[in-house]
Amino acid sequence: QLQLVESGGGLVQPGESLRLSCVASGSTLDEYTIAWFRQAPGKEREGVVCITNSNYGKRSTYYVDNAKGRFTVSRDNAKNTAYLQITDLKPEDTAVYYCAAAWGCSNVAPAYVYWGQGAPVTVSS
């Protein structure tokens, strides 16, 4: 069974960058589409971006307004790891970021079968 573990979150100042990692174990990550979701305090979980597996060209779809400019998703199947790079962080990016796996891209959380535990990101000066 696929297990996902996120890392790379923390406290950052506005304008800084960070890279979140999602390491998979128990199965081959390239069997799955990977998505990143985030959940801000008091808000619903929202899809940020998904990236298909190699069979579908590692194509990415961004769901958050203006995400494509500051968010970059990637995956290294050799390392069984997916990444989310975020630049020019803003206070409104504060959230717990989750990686999730399924068999097709969607921004709907119930579509995803496997979830990591989440990586908190706080953007504050």
For 31-81, what is each residue's pLDDT tens digit?
999 999 999 999 999 999 999 998 888 899 989 877 668 999 999 989 999
pLDDT in tens, 88-113: 999 999 999 999 999 989 999 999 99
Euclidean distance between CA atoms 65 and 100, whole angstroms:
20
For 48, the token pair is: 């940020």
CA distances to 20, 64, 74, 88 from 51, rounded to whole Å, are 15, 14, 7, 22
